[in-house]
Amino acid sequence: MSGRLWKLRQRFGIAAPKVAVRTHVPWYLRWLGIAVLLAFSAALAAWMYDAGRRFAGFDRSEVEQELALARGELAAARGELERLRALANASESRLSIERTAQQKLGQQMRGLEGENARLREELAIFESMLSSDTTHSAPLSVLRFKVEPDLIPGEYRYRVALLASGPRRGRDFQGRLELVVSLTEAGRSAMITVPAPAESESAAFRLNFKHFQRVEGRFRVNPKARVGGVQVRIYESGAGDAKVTESVTLD
């Protein structure tokens, strides 16, 4: 019995444990307070960081302004670059057109110069025909024979002017033209015939005229060969020997 009394005194008497009464706070209010505290701490830390940079001489707003200014200048520079590129393309187009026009003009000028030379040559031929004594001239003669290098290496251009006069006047001369080219290649001398025997009946080398005929053409040799001279031979149809020959020497 005394043991029970002792336990009751310990529980409800002076020696009993103290009881604290606290107000109950909902969980969402606790979380809200924690969030407000964290936000405040973050804002305070950002302010202190920004204040520290300003104190050290770094201003974010100034940097942003300078960055915006640099971006604007870069955009302006890009625009100017595009404008200059457009002008350059237009200039190149105009320059290409001008070059094409100059090339065409040069070709026309060269053509006119060649035509002018041909007319002067024919005029000289006709003057020689009028001034010559046709009653004592040969029935067939080479008034002019000229050979010169062309633009392409190894290619040569030739011009022949033929005149039929004297007793032949009144009937056509029919025959063919042949060139004999003397050249040196690799230290050895050689001769080639134009046209080749298989092409001797080519229309480009046939002759059929009554008074005067002009023949022009080209022949090619090895670009490494050096042409020393060219002889033109005129054959009448049915004859085995040349009716007339004429030679030129090239430098």
All domains of the chain in start order, with CATH: 2-53 (no CATH), 139-249 (2.60.40.10)
- Asked if pLDDT for residue 50 goes beyond 80, the answer is no
Rounded CA separation 124/163 (Å): 13
- In angstroms, how far apart are the furthest CA atoms of the chain? 185
pLDDT at 182: 93
- Asked if pLDDT for residue 46 goes beyond 80, the answer is no
Mean pLDDT for the chain?
Answer: 78
Length of the chain: 251
- Asked if pLDDT for residue 24 goes beyond 70, the answer is no
Q: How far is CA 156 from CA 134, 147, 234, in A?
A: 33, 7, 19
Q: Which one, of 212, 192, 62, lies nearest residue 137 by Cα?
A: 212
Task: Specify whether the CB–CB gap between 212 and 125 falls below 8 A.
Answer: yes
- Asked if pLDDT for residue 75 goes beyond 70, the answer is yes
Q: Which residues pair with 219 in a beta bridge?
A: 156
Overall pTM > 0.75 = no
213-224 confidence digits (pLDDT tens):
888 889 999 999
- Asked if pLDDT for residue 133 goes beyond 70, the answer is no
Q: Name which residue leads in pLDDT, 208 or 33.
A: 208
| Count of beta carbons in the 10 Å neighbourhood of residue 164 | 22
Q: Taking residues 107-131, what's their average pLDDT? A: 73
Task: Specify whether the CB–CB gap between 144 and 161 falls below 8 A.
Answer: yes
pLDDT at 131: 61
pLDDT at 136: 45
pLDDT class for 135, splitting at 50, 70, 90? Answer: very low
pLDDT at 158: 92
Q: Verify cis geometry, omega within 30 degrees of 0, for the bond prior to 223.
A: no
- Asked if pLDDT for residue 8 goes beyond 60, the answer is no
